Structure 1
Amino acid sequence: MLDNLPRGTICIEDIEIGMTRHLRKTVTDQDIELFGQVSTDRNPVHFDDAYAEDTIFEGRIAHGMLTAGLISAVIGEQLPGHGSIYLGQTLKFLGPVRPGDTVLAEVTVTDIQHAKRRVALDCRCTVGDTVVLKGEAMVLAPSRKFD
């Protein structure tokens, strides 16, 4: 399941502090398998039920960077959107995402440096009422001046 706002571009000239965009995605076993293939991260905590039962998570979990990738999707598709360039990202992983969990990934504009086209974003992912990831991103936003 994927629920998000319209995709596209918001140019630096139109970005305002407090703007927020999000997407909602249910993480599937196929998502975990595909991420494992692409990243080559085959840690058994993601793939082996018996192994994962004996970990602090007491069951299989999705890759943390799969969850972080949802933040990247919001930035690259919605805010600022197409033409955005990542300059930096901090992440704190606060809880597991399990197969079948629905993750809400949200970004909110916290600062704008118009002259440099830089936008600071507060980033968070939640499963229900639980924050599972939080961080900050700095991105270079597209501008109409360069069209």
Structure 2
Amino acid sequence: MVRTLFFEDLAVGMRETLMKTVMETDVVGFANVSGDDNPIHLCDTYAAGTRFGQRIAHGLYTASLISAVLGTRLPGAGAVYRSQTLNFHAPVKIGDVVNVIVEVTELVREGRKVKLHCEALVDNMLVLDGEAIVSVPSRPKAGLS
């Protein structure tokens, strides 16, 4: 379910989470969409010889789960990305359960910008963090369509 929070609905400290199990189909699908066919993501034999010992999900696949939270839960429909920083700390493997947490850290009335701290964890270990800035629409004035 997608929800819509307008700028006036938001407050510092609001947070939302998303849990997602990374599936084989997610990794293959992301490779198809992005064009990133790196064998670390797609080939068991190749990946077994790397420092990870097995295939890993694309870092930007994990980051895309942040986008899912921003676009559907906090702030939700109407939010438009302005920027996103990303720091990758550890790999995400097929079968891992990723817990994404997004928290409002600042509201900037001019431009209706919202700063959010974003992190992704696997087994309570930080695998990715960063900051997003999104623009959020204002609540429509009463009587206007």
TM-score (norm. length: structure 1):
0.93
Structure 1 position 42 matched with structure 2 position 21: no
Segments of 5+ residues of structure 1 without an aligned counterpart are 1-5
1:132 matched to which residue of 2?
A: 127
- Aligned twin of 1:28: 23
- CA–CA distance in structure 1, aligned partners of residues 115 and 27 of structure 2: 29
1:88 and 2:73 correspond = no
* 2:114 is the alignment partner of 1:119: yes
Query: Per-residue deviation at 1:115?
Result: 2.9
SS of aligned partner of 1:45: helix
Are positions 1:109 and 2:110 aligned together? no
Say what the alpha-carbon RMSD is for the aligned residues.
Answer: 1.2
1:60–1:98 CA contact under 8 A, matched in 2: yes
Structure 2 residue runs without a partner (length 5+): none
Shift in Å, 1:59? 1.0
* Counterpart selection for 2:11 from 1, 13, 16: 16
Counterpart in the other structure of 1:3: none
Q: CA deviation at 1:32?
A: 0.4
Identity over aligned pairs, percent: 46
Q: Which amino acid is the alignment partner of residue 133 of structure 1?
A: L
Distance 2:139 2:104 in 1: 19
Contact 1:80/1:142, CA 8 A, preserved across alignment:
no
Q: In the alignment, what sits opposite 1:63?
A: 58
Mapped partners of 1:141, 1:122: distance in 2: 16
**Distance (Å, rounded) in 1 between the aligned partners of 2:90 and 2:22:** 15
> Which has the larger Rg?
2
Partner-residue secondary structure (3-state), 1:112: strand
Determine the structure 2 residue equivalent to 1:74. Answer: 69
How far did residue 98 of structure 1 move?
0.5
Structure 2: how far apart are the matches of 1:24 and 1:143?
Answer: 29
Shift of 1:116: 1.9
